[in-house]
A and B are shown apart, each in its own frame.
Chain A
Amino acid sequence: MNCETLCDHLLELTDGSLEPDLAQECRAHLAACPSCAREAARQRATWRLLGELPAEKTSPARLKQMAATALAAARATPEVQETDLDPDRGGAPDLPAGLGRPGEPGGMVALRRRWVQVAAAAALVVVTALGAEWVFHARPPAGGPGGGEASDCPADPEFVGDFEVLRDLADVDDSADGELLDLDHDEVVMLQLCDG
């Protein structure tokens, strides 16, 4: 056996998984070749250092809790996602709300991501509404303090602009009763009054 052949077998030799006959040949070479002996020693030492990573223990109670969480999540979203099986497709399965780590509401990373998305969408709606309101108030009055249509509205003119913004948004709301916009009763009544 030469040095190159030994190099090919060194991984399995230091693993202890090499066939006995071949291992014997390798050991004979190592006994006669200080250079290879040193390399083999380095490899064994590398694996020994890896032994410095001890496993940590988790309490059975915590693991049972994780099992219950996984079962509940699987029932809530039982469909098998393609991404479960194909890492190239990216996303990890999300857990439904309320199934996070104890002490950390919605503690799953995926869940946190989802809430960030929801919060960002909500912030966008608020900013859009405020922006529209600013544009409305900045607009020169046409026939009245709140604009032409608002002049006939019985509501306080100071607030007419706010409700016009609401009405504009309500035009997008197919429910026509403010349900999707989560308007309360007074706001819906005010819109109806403004619409005459």
Chain B
Amino acid sequence: MEQGIAPDPGQGWMAEFQHGDDAAFERIVVHYGDRVLAFFRRCGADRSSAEDLAQEAFLRIARARDRYEPTARFTTWLYRILSRIAANDGTRNRWRRATTIRQGRHDDDPQPGIPELAAPHAADPATIASASDLRARVRAAVAELPESQRIALVLNRFEGASYDDVAAALDLSIPAVKSLLHRARENLKQRLLPFLQQEVLDEL
């Protein structure tokens, strides 16, 4: 797994920004912008919501101009901002999921809100129409994870954030982060089981 992001020039640019160089702030946004947007997209926001949330993140960075202290890597600080925005947003249900939620589920469905995954007989990977179909199912499975699991997963698996970085971003201990990731993976495994079976067969 990729550990951390290198290079991490944000700290230097933030220092230049603090000394009055607005162009340095622009460099931060251009350099990290795609990653910020991708973070919110992978957390389940649609494109429009992801842009709103990314804009909010950039605003927080700009507002932090005078109080930013380079005590940690810039990306660690950035993860913290992103995680808090994502947690805020999920709490307020402002998230607009880019996933299709199953309609008309039974009342005894133990996990309401889980996106519709193909029924086992239709989930044979051989019947998957396209890679975009699989992507949609994976995206839906990630989007429906509990908030903290989803944020930890996206930071760790997609951003390459170390356990230390995820722990700092979420104010958790490293064992707690590992526990979150373990549960996230177990949840995903259940949701993606039909596809995993073929993947496993391919591997064994």
Chain B at the A interface: mostly helix, strand, loop or mixed?
Answer: helix
Per-residue A-contact encoding for B129-152, CB less than 8 Å = 1, 0 else: 001001100110010000000000
- Is the beta-carbon distance between A71 and B22 smaller than 8 angstroms? yes
CB proximity of B125 to chain A, nearest CB, Å = 10
Q: Which chain B residues border A55 with CB–CB below 8 Å?
A: 34-35, 38, 41, 158
Closest to B58 in A: A70
Residue A84 lies at the interface, judged by CB distance under 8 Å to chain B? yes
Q: Judge whether A130 is part of the interface by a CB distance below 8 angstroms.
A: no
A148 to B55, CA, bound (A): 59
Task: Please state if B63 and A84 are interface contacts (CB–CB under 8 Å).
Answer: yes
Binds B, one of A21-29, A46-54, A180-188: A46-54
Output the least CB separation between B8 and chain A (Å): 18
Interface residues of B (CB under 8 A from A): 1, 3, 22, 25-26, 28-30, 33-35, 37-38, 41-42, 47, 49, 51-52, 54-56, 58-65, 67, 84-85, 87-89, 91-92, 94, 131, 134-135, 138-139, 142, 153, 157-158, 163, 178, 181-182, 185, 188-189, 192, 195-196, 199-200, 203-204
Q: List 17 A-B contacts (CB under 8 A).
A: A11-B178, A38-B204, A46-B189, A49-B195, A50-B153, A50-B188, A53-B138, A54-B135, A58-B37, A66-B33, A66-B58, A67-B28, A70-B61, A71-B62, A74-B65, A80-B64, A84-B64
